[in-house]
Amino acid sequence: LELRSRFYFMGPSQDSMDSPYALTMRDLLRQVSDEVLSRGHSIGFHPGYRTLRDRQEFHRQKVELEAIVGAEITEGRQHVLRYDCASTPALWDQEGMHEDFSLAYPDDIGFRNGACRTHKAYDLTARKPLGVDQTATCVTEFSMFDPRYQSLSVDEALEKSMRLASAV
């Protein structure tokens, strides 16, 4: 069985809600991203806390992350799942992103957008489909294992995830 994983990294940011590793550990981030890519996995962008409506900041972080990892980035997920349906999808489209996995619940598993299949994002303001594929991230490790949320055992998490998988 060959699995392909996605690794999403934050761009350089000094915001207190973001991790500063792209600023303080650039060489290590480059080494890790090289290793991820050499194993056939993909690298994506984890835009900072204040990027959901701020195209300039989104762009700056994305371009600087691409320079660090030495690769174009076209997929990712918003930091702490901050998402504004009126502006975030259009921003992602304008910045050349192709896949968005932001639609998830932090506190439980399930489909935040009510769909279990990938679909094209839609610009609610311009009333048109966008070039970004949106996929609901129905299972997140932090919602199951983090003590702030469910704090499940591995067996409990697997059981809960399998119930969801069998339903779809």
Tens of pLDDT along the chain (168 residues) come to 688 899 999 999 999 999 999 999 999 999 999 999 999 999 999 999 999 999 999 999 999 999 999 999 999 999 988 899 999 999 999 999 999 999 887 788 888 777 888 999 999 999 999 999 999 888 888 889 999 999 999 999 999 999 888 888
Gap between the Cα atoms of 2 and 151, Å rounded? 29
Q: In the prediction, which pLDDT does 68 show?
A: 97
Gap between the Cα atoms of 57 and 104, Å rounded? 23
* Residue (of 66, 62, 96) closest to 79 by Cα position: 62
Contact yes or no for 34/68 (Cβ under 8 A) = no
Gap between the Cα atoms of 45 and 66, Å rounded? 9
Q: In the prediction, which pLDDT does 1 show?
A: 66
Q: In the prediction, which pLDDT does 52 show?
A: 93
Gap between the Cα atoms of 18 and 23, Å rounded? 11
State the pTM of this model.
0.88
Gap between the Cα atoms of 11 and 17, Å rounded? 13
* Residue 3 identity: L
